[in-house]
Amino acid sequence: MLHICCAPCATAVLENLRNSGYDVTGYFYNPSIHPWKEFKRRLDALKEWAPSVELPVIYYEEYPLEDNIRMLLNGDNRCFSCFADRMVKTAELAFEVGIGLFTSTLSVSPYQNHELLRKAGEKASDLLDVRYLYRDFRGSYRKSIELSRVAGMYRQPYCGCVFSERDRYLKIKSPGQS
């Protein structure tokens, strides 16, 4: 099961996983994306692209804004809380539908802190009987830009949450950035 943060990142990661022989099912679970219009835009971009590559995707379309902001503010590092939430929910769904392995498109980004990502994935894997596949997809990052441009996909200018939108424009480093 592949946790998908957005369609552009999924392009090259899907190719990478399929080339390694994996049968991939996607899961779009990103309640941190702010504002709702941006969330919808990323969701729609994936819905438009996934059928063209015959990728089955399960979509989490709820938008629990208050709970999410609370969760991001409660932890010591909001990005770790955000990664952990996404990994736990992916592991839970994989377990529910009988998929024994999960990973995330998040690790295609050279801007994310891979140590934190890996820790979040391993922690989620410990909670349930589902293995976490850590794979450093950063080598596919350029390819993802290329593929998403060719597909005419919407490419977002910031990570997702309201804090990252501020950080992007005020040039502040997010706590989950490497």
Q: Are 8 and 163 in contact (CB under 8 A)?
A: no
Q: Is the peptide bond before 157 cis (omega within 30 degrees of 0)?
A: no
Query: Which of 4, 14, 57, 78 touches ligand SF4 (CB under 6 A)?
Result: 78
Near ligand SF4 by CB under 6 A, which window of 48-56, 95-103, 138-146, 155-163?
155-163
Number of residues that bind ligand SF4 (CB under 6 A): 12
Query: Which of 45, 46, 79, 147 touches ligand SF4 (CB under 6 A)?
Result: 79
Near ligand SF4 by CB under 6 A, which window of 12-20, 41-49, 56-64, 157-165?
157-165
Q: Which two tokens stand for residue 96?
A: 């529910």
Query: Which of 8, 31, 121, 176 touches ligand SF4 (CB under 6 A)?
Result: 176
Helices (H), the chain: 7-19, 36-49, 65-74, 78-97, 114-127, 141-150, 162-170
Near ligand SF4 by CB under 6 A, which window of 15-23, 76-84, 94-102, 133-141?
76-84
Distances (CA, A) of 159 to 106, 110, 131, 168: 10, 12, 26, 8
The footprint of ligand SF4 (CB under 6 A) covers 32, 72, 78-79, 82, 159-161, 163-164, 174, 176
